[in-house]
Amino acid sequence: MSIFSVVRIIRRGECVSEEGGCKIIVTDREIDPFSWMRYIVLSRRDWEGPHSPIITHEQAHINYGHSAELLLVDILSAFQWFNPAVWMLRSDLQELHEYEADDAVLRSGANIKEYQYLLIRKAVSKSGYSVANSFNHSILKNRITMMSKSKSPLARGLRALYLLPLVCLGLGLQAQTVYVPTGEDSEKNVSQETKQKDGTFVVLNMAADGTVDTGADSFKASDMAAIVAVLKAFSPGLTVVINADPATPMSYVDNLKKELWKFETLKIHYTTPAEVTALRSKLQSSEPKVSRAETTSGYPAEVLPGVNRENICVALLNENDKIFFDDGAYQDDAIILNHGKNFLEKHGNASHFMLRYNLASSYGAYLHLQSLILQAYSDVRNEKARALYGKDFEELAEEESAEIRRLIPISISEAEPRG
């Protein structure tokens, strides 16, 4: 669609000049100047004004073959759309393209201050087309900073940037799909790959002090408005993955989630440690149900239709990362696991685990609590499978494993936090 839009603009525009093998197309549409293959396209207003730096900038894109590189990355991203490294590669490549084109303009003798002012004026207009090299770009601050440096550091910077796409490509070749908890029913046979096709993934990395890195910039935990503003540009269809440092207090994570929940188009997941990913593989369940709603006396009735209180096991994580069940506090993982297994064996397919954390508890401890509950499910399913079919759950045929899932369905929800 992007290529079609570019071609349509070129065909409907007026070819006013041909310089150095490049055709200059003028359109009556109010668009940013851009180049694609051997064409330079700009609005009539830009053409009738001082346009020499614009033409030089876009000619540099053409001479360096930037359009072909972007097209190659777009084709790669069509097959690796789920891989964040591919989108990092595209971003780094575009940044390198703009540095190279800016350098060509300055080497042509353009006044650096006038050129910088031109970039700032154009920055308030619309973005270009994805397959084209647009004169306007979101890395304006970095571009102006690079231009303000001497030529020697600029050249070194350009050489260093050539390594970034190679590093990102190497990461992409090593990337694996990461499974994360979601509010969807865990027993539905829906793969993580299918869920990723619903939209773009953005990973928010959160440090222990609450600082959030969006990939483009870092923000303090108190500056949620700025974080949300960045994410709004991606919606609808955006899936936000929260990847917090294990020592991060859950108050930071909870505050971030509440802000994100204000946008119904966003999907919010947690990243998970390897132990949880392995457990989900054994359980043949891509995402166990960890849903969340407002609570009444601690129990969200709208998430638990028809669930009796006696079939709910409440697991509370306190401010010191200690785990409490209804009958007291537990610290030993083996005892906690055994408690969960006993509950599942007693209540069968009516069992439901409700997880509740204190805002001062840590993100790592909360994920560990999830892993213990999942391990309890895994152990009980294996015991039931061996009793009925003489083999472990992951070794069962589809019809047999479906029966075990019916007898021991995964049912987990998240209550409002304390503190």
Q: Would you say residue 201 lies in a domain? A: no
Q: Is the peptide bond preceding residue 236 cis, with omega within 30 degrees of 0?
A: yes
Domain containing 334 — which CATH number?
3.30.420.270
Q: What share of the chain is helix, strand, coil (3-state, %, to 5)?
A: 50, 20, 35
Cβ–Cβ under 8 Å, residues 16 and 55? no
Total count of domains within the chain: 2
Structural domain includes residue 370: yes
Same domain, 170 and 309: no
What pLDDT score was predicted for residue 303? 44
Sheet order of strands, 34-36 included: 14-19, 22-27, 39-43, 34-36, 133-134
Q: Which of 9, 135, 74 is nearest to 23 (CA)?
A: 9
- pTM, entire model: 0.48
Residues 170 and 304 in one domain: no
- As averages over each run of 10 residues, the pLDDT of the chain (419 residues) reads 87 87 89 88 88 89 89 87 84 85 86 78 56 59 67 51 53 42 34 39 80 72 66 62 86 81 64 58 50 37 59 89 81 88 90 89 89 90 93 89 89 81
Q: In this structure, what DSSP letter does residue 213 have? A: E
Integer Cα distance of 341 and 377 in angstroms: 7
The answer to whether residue 109 is domain-embedded is yes
Distance CA 378, CA 376 (A): 5
Which of 143, 174, 205 terminates a domain? The answer is: 174
Bridge partners (DSSP) listed for residue 291: 413
Confidence at residue 269, expressed as pLDDT on a 0 to 100 scale: 67
Give kind and range of the element (H or E) at residue 202: strand 201-206
Residue 205 lies in a domain: no
Quote the CA–CA distance of 108 and 39 in Å, as a whole number.
20
- My answer on whether 162 and 308 are in the same domain is no
Query: C-alpha angle with apex 13: 8 to 18, nearest 5 degrees?
Result: 115
**Residue 6 resides in a domain:** yes
Which of 147, 174, 201 marks a domain boundary? 174
Please say which residue of 174, 193, 221 terminates a domain: 174
Range of the domain at 355: 294-414
Looking at the DSSP assignment, which residues form a beta bridge with residue 204?
Answer: 242
Does 402 reside within a domain? yes
In a domain, 82, yes or no: yes
Tell me, yes or no, whether 127 lies in a domain: yes
> Does 312 lie in the same domain as 166?
no
Pairing of strands 14-19, 22-27: antiparallel
